[in-house]
Amino acid sequence: MAKHFQRTGRKLLGIDRQGWIKGFFGGNATLSIIILFLICFFLITEAVRFFPQHHEKLQLHRKSGQEYVNHIITEMNEYSQLVSLTNQAYFQELNEKYALQRGISNSFEAFLDPLEDDGEDLIEALEDAEDDPEALAQAQADWRAFVSGVVEGANRADIDSFGRLDDASWAALKKAMIDYDPVEEEPPAYVTQAQQELRDGMARFEEAKNEISSAGRELKQLRQKLVKIASKVKDDAAAEESAAERKKALLAGAETMTNEAEKAAQIEQANAIVIRDEFPFAARTEEIAASKDAHKAAVAELKEKLGIAVAKLPTELSSEEASALLDQVRKAHPPFVKWLDESVAKASTWQWDRKLSFFGSAMKFFFGVDWVTNSSWHDFYGLLPLFIGSFEISLIAIMFAVPFSIGAAIYVNRLAGRWEQTLIKPAIELIQAIPSVVLGFFGIVVLGEGLRDLSQIEALSWVPGFPMQERLNVLNAGLLLALMAVPTIFTLCEDALNNVPRAYSEASLALGASKLQTVIKVIVPTAISGILAAVLLGFGRVIGETMVVLLVAGNKIALPDWSAGLGVITQPTHTMTGIIAQEMGEVTKGTLHFRALFLVGLVLFTISLCINVAAQRIIKRLGHA
């Protein structure tokens, strides 16, 4: 009887047709798990191999003495920042206080070009006529006529290209040009006088400036010497590491050769490669180790000379910017000196054979502050500046996006009229479709300029970071990403608000609450888990965004300069996503750099997974409170 209701049809491998169809669909669905797994697999396999390779690199860094020399390099870098600040202040002051004198001097030099080029024959005539008074007079007259012709015909904007001269001094300079003696190349008195004034006025400042620049001479020489040694040790050690392999390759190559002479030569070449059990680091780095005292002395000298020179810096300047710069120098000086001592102390602990822990080298990646690649000295892979850059930008984006998207969600969901709802929702969805590269382009050509102009308005100078130095910076990128985050947060928030049961709002309204009171006191608190999750997911979207930050963040790999306080938001930075996009195209598979980028990718992937999981947790836990 029951036979009537049995399935019929052929079976394949014990599975009937319906089973196969189901399996087909199920297989496609399972692909999503497989893809997630593959993404994990590929990121992890490349990324974990970074650590041993990086560890070895760092070990070589230590053994070759580069680690020690690096301290000196950093000291020099810090010191040259002081020098550069002083120089900036110097030229600022020069340009402001002695603008006229500089203008005269520069304009005079600008005049020389046409005079010497086009008046070559006349100058020769002058030189030839030196002994002949009559000819000399003639030549001088010709010269004068020529000079006045050139001077009168000159375009003022070309000569005085910075517009430093006023009308009177322009006229005076033109007149003075007649007195220029092209044979002796003696500038006219008007010009020499201006140059003298300038020199006298700036003498004290110049002296201090030069002293600051020369204070680090010893250290600089030491650096040059040690860099050379350490580089050589590193290269040799690296070469020796591969010696065995090269030898094998040469011998193998020789086997296949038919020409006996060539074969013999190659075998000889191979045998010339000495394979030592261990590279003699101790002997090779002896000189570096012996330089510790010289280093101390050089630093001591630097400190002493710098102290004297900084004290000599003028305090009364006519340029406000210059005095601000010098204040910066004076302020930075004591901590710099203190830091120098620490640095020397740290450096003196260096020993080529001190053990480097694996954990320590891994931490050098996560907490390293430098990311320097393709350098002939040493490549640094420090995630911290990139991580902070990504984080800074995302935080700003979220700060701007959250009020706007939640406000808009409340408005559209509870307050807006029906036609507004039907129009605004798709419009915001359209914003989501704006390609990120277009937003980045907009950031470069429009927002960057706009923000900079805005930041130069006097009335806005209280805003942290205004006026901004760079067009492409954290704030610019953050604002654009805020626009990208709005649709995500808005849509999810709106869903969350929509899911609040109607009974709640009815009950509230029936108790005499207004629409707004109902929203604030009942609906938002009820939907809060959804709103929180929306914000989190918005953050996830923003931190993973690539093109906008690559184009707009400024791509400067450095820790934020916290001395600017909140002003860090107008500094340029670099990001985790940006670095991958920028460098991935140019690395070779399997190199340390390649794996470092995959490791950065793995960090990003982990962050986004965590955010996703957290968002789902929040919805689950708070959703049924």
Partner 1 sequence: MLEESKNPFVASSNRQKIIDRVWSVIFAGFTYFVLACALFIFGKITYDGAPVLFQAEAPFINFDFLFTSPQTLVEFRDGAGELVRMDASDFRSFKEENPDAVIRDEHTFSYSGGGILGPLVGTALLVIVCMIVSLFIGVSAAVYLNEYAHHGKLVGAIRLAIMNLAGVPSIVYGLFGFAFFCLAPWFPVLTYEVNPETSVFAFKVPMSKGFLSFEGWGNSLIAGGLTLAVMALPVIIAACEESLKAVPKGFREASLALGATKWQMIRTAVLPYATPGMLTASVLGVTRVAGETAPIMFTAAVADKAKLPWQEAEGSPLFWFSDLLTQSVQALPYHIYTVSARIPDADAVRDMRYGSVFVFLLLVMGFAMISIVMRARFRSKLKW
Partner 2 sequence: MNDDSVTLDSADAPVMGIDETIIKIDDLSFSYDLGKTNTLRNISLDIPAGKVTAFIGPSGCGKSTLLRCLNRMNDLVDTAKVTTGKISILDQDINAPDVEAIELRKHVGMVFQKYNPFPKSIYENVAYGLRVQGIKNKGVLDEAVEESLKKSALWSEVKDRLDSSALGLSGGQQQRLCIARTIAVKPQIVLMDEPCSALDPIATARIEELIAELRQEFTIVIVTHNMQQATRVSDRTAFFYLGELIEYADTAKIFGNPSKKQTEDYVSGRFG
Binding residues vs partner 2 (CB under 8 A)? 418, 501, 503-504, 506-514, 517, 521-522, 525-526, 625
* Per-residue three-class SS string for 339-403: HHHHHHHHHHCCCCCCCCCHHHHHHHHHHCCCEECCCCCCCEECCHHHHHHHHHHHHHHHHHHHH
d(CA 356, CA 58): 8
Work out how close the CB of 554 gets to partner 1 at its nearest, in angstroms, rounded to a whole number: 12
Instruction: Pick the closer one to partner 2 by CB: 419 or 462.
Output: 419
Residues in contact with partner 1, shown as a per-residue x/- string from 523 to 562 under the rule CB under 8 A: --------------x--xx-xxxxx--xx-----------
Q: Which of 447, 486, 474 is nearest to 578 (CA)?
A: 474
Query: Any contact of residue 46 with partner 1 (CB under 8 A)?
Result: yes
Instruction: Pick the closer one to partner 1 by CB: 52 or 403.
Output: 403
d(CA 462, CA 48): 47
d(CA 555, CA 474): 10
329 and 313 in contact (C-beta within 8 Å)? yes
**Identified binder of partner 1 from the candidate list 2, 426, 502, 503, rule CB under 8 A:** 426
Instruction: Pick the closer one to partner 1 by CB: 42 or 359.
Output: 42
| Phi, psi dihedral angles at 559 (to 5 degrees) | -65, 145
Q: What residue ranges in 310-465 does DSSP mark as E strands? A: 371-372, 380-381
Interior/surface letters 581-614, b for 16+ CB within 10 angstroms, e for the rest: bebeeebeeeebbbbbbbbbbbbbbebbeebeeb
Work out how close the CB of 362 gets to partner 1 at its nearest, in angstroms, rounded to a whole number: 20
Instruction: Pick the closer one to partner 2 by CB: 499 or 591.
Output: 499
- Say whether 381 sits in a helix, a strand or coil: strand
Query: Any contact of residue 253 with partner 1 (CB under 8 A)?
Result: no
Instruction: Pick the closer one to partner 1 by CB: 11 or 22.
Output: 22
**Identified binder of partner 1 from the candidate list 429, 453, 506, 561, rule CB under 8 A:** 429
Output DSSP code: residue 559.
-
Q: Which partner, partner 1, partner 2, none, binds residue 506 by CB below 5 to 8 Å per kind?
A: partner 2
Site for partner 1 in 439-458 (CB under 8 A): 439-442, 444-446
Q: Which partner, partner 1, partner 2, none, binds residue 269 by CB below 5 to 8 Å per kind?
A: none
Work out how close the CB of 499 gets to partner 1 at its nearest, in angstroms, rounded to a whole number: 16
Count of residues near partner 1 by CB under 8 A:
85
Q: Which partner, partner 2, partner 1, none, binds residue 397 by CB below 5 to 8 Å per kind?
A: none
**Identified binder of partner 1 from the candidate list 171, 249, 345, 431, rule CB under 8 A:** 431
Instruction: Pick the closer one to partner 2 by CB: 2 or 503.
Output: 503
d(CA 286, CA 353): 12
Neighbour-count burial of 362, counting CB atoms closer than 10 A to its CB (0-12 exposed, 13-18 middle, 19+ buried): middle
Place of tokens 């869903």: 495
Q: Which of 539, 579, 574, 583 is nearest to 553 (CA)?
A: 574
Work out how close the CB of 497 gets to partner 1 at its nearest, in angstroms, rounded to a whole number: 12
Residues in contact with partner 1, shown as a per-residue x/- string from 181 to 210 under the rule CB under 8 A: ------------------------------
Question: Which residues share a beta bridge with 186?
Answer: 181
Catalogue the long-range contacts made by 555-563 (C-beta closer than 8 Å, 24 or more residues apart). Answer: 555/472, 555/582, 557/370, 557/371, 557/372, 557/385, 557/386, 558/385, 559/369, 559/384, 559/385, 559/388, 560/388, 560/389, 560/392
Residues in contact with partner 1, shown as a per-residue x/- string from 569 to 608 under the rule CB under 8 A: --------x--xx--xx---x-------xx--x--xx--x
d(CA 34, CA 54): 30
Query: Any contact of residue 435 with partner 1 (CB under 8 A)?
Result: yes
Query: Any contact of residue 611 with partner 1 (CB under 8 A)?
Result: yes
Angle between helices 217-241 and 243-256 in degrees, nearest 10: 40
Q: Which partner, partner 2, partner 1, none, binds residue 511 by CB below 5 to 8 Å per kind?
A: partner 2
Q: Which partner, partner 2, partner 1, none, binds residue 547 by CB below 5 to 8 Å per kind?
A: partner 1
Query: Any contact of residue 612 with partner 1 (CB under 8 A)?
Result: yes
Q: Which partner, partner 2, partner 1, none, binds residue 504 by CB below 5 to 8 Å per kind?
A: partner 2
Q: Which partner, partner 2, partner 1, none, binds residue 141 by CB below 5 to 8 Å per kind?
A: none
User: Dihedral sign, CA of 462, 465, 467, 471?
Assistant: negative
Q: Which partner, partner 1, partner 2, none, binds residue 416 by CB below 5 to 8 Å per kind?
A: partner 1
Place of tokens 């009171």: 517
Q: Which partner, partner 1, partner 2, none, binds residue 507 by CB below 5 to 8 Å per kind?
A: partner 2
Instruction: Pick the closer one to partner 2 by CB: 472 or 519.
Output: 519
Residues 6+ apart with CB under 8 A from 226: 65, 68, 69, 72, 288, 291
Query: Any contact of residue 249 with partner 1 (CB under 8 A)?
Result: no
d(CA 142, CA 449): 52
Q: Which partner, partner 2, partner 1, none, binds residue 501 by CB below 5 to 8 Å per kind?
A: partner 2
Instruction: Pick the closer one to partner 1 by CB: 46 or 67.
Output: 46
d(CA 246, CA 327): 58
479 and 398 in contact (C-beta within 8 Å)? no
Q: Which partner, partner 2, partner 1, none, binds residue 522 by CB below 5 to 8 Å per kind?
A: partner 2
549 and 393 in contact (C-beta within 8 Å)? yes
Work out how close the CB of 618 gets to partner 1 at its nearest, in angstroms, rounded to a whole number: 14
574 and 387 in contact (C-beta within 8 Å)? no
**Identified binder of partner 1 from the candidate list 15, 38, 141, 460, rule CB under 8 A:** 38
* Per-residue three-class SS string for 105-120: HHHHHHHHHHHHHHCH
**Identified binder of partner 1 from the candidate list 242, 517, 563, 591, rule CB under 8 A:** 517
Q: Which partner, partner 2, partner 1, none, binds residue 186 by CB below 5 to 8 Å per kind?
A: none
User: Dihedral sign, CA of 40, 45, 48, 51?
Assistant: negative
Work out how close the CB of 522 gets to partner 2 at its nearest, in angstroms, rounded to a whole number: 6
Question: Which residues share a beta bridge with 380?
Answer: 372
Q: Which partner, partner 1, partner 2, none, binds residue 418 by CB below 5 to 8 Å per kind?
A: partner 2
Hey, what are 363's tokens?
């931490």
Query: Any contact of residue 412 with partner 1 (CB under 8 A)?
Result: yes
Site for partner 1 in 212-231 (CB under 8 A): none
Work out how close the CB of 580 gets to partner 1 at its nearest, in angstroms, rounded to a whole number: 5
Q: Which partner, partner 2, partner 1, none, binds residue 370 by CB below 5 to 8 Å per kind?
A: none
Residue 40: Cβ within 10 Å count: 14
Could you report how far apart the first and last alpha carbons of the chain are, in Å?
54
Instruction: Pick the closer one to partner 1 by CB: 33 or 510.
Output: 33
